[in-house]
Amino acid sequence: MGIPVWLLLLLLLPLSGLGPLPCLSIATVLAVAAIVLAERRRTRRAAGATTDGELRRGERAPMSALTAAALTLGVVVLLVYVVFVIRAA
């Protein structure tokens, strides 16, 4: 969910007239915030699914919000690096 949100923001934010670096920064912060909110909501919903807190058979434990944010930031950094390397060549 994080990468599509980030890419969409990167398409829409330049229309506001901001420069490339502010657009990249704002898009990254908003994408991380969206991931953290989505994962916290999903975690609460999954925790309320059973009364004793146990996972049902075949269910996976939800990803923590911090892990989701770290994964999103890692992919964003990798994509930015690849874009700058391709552009410099």
Q: Amino acid identity, residue 70? A: A
State which residues form the domain around 46.
2-51+62-88
- Coil, helix or strand at residue 54: coil
Q: Count of domains in the chain?
A: 1
pLDDT tens string, the chain, 89 residues long: the values are: 677 887 888 888 888 888 888 888 888 888 888 888 887 777 666 655 555 556 566 566 667 778 878 888 888 888 887 777 777 75
For residue 57, being part of any structural domain is answered with no
Contact 32, 2 (CB under 8 A): yes
pTM: 0.54
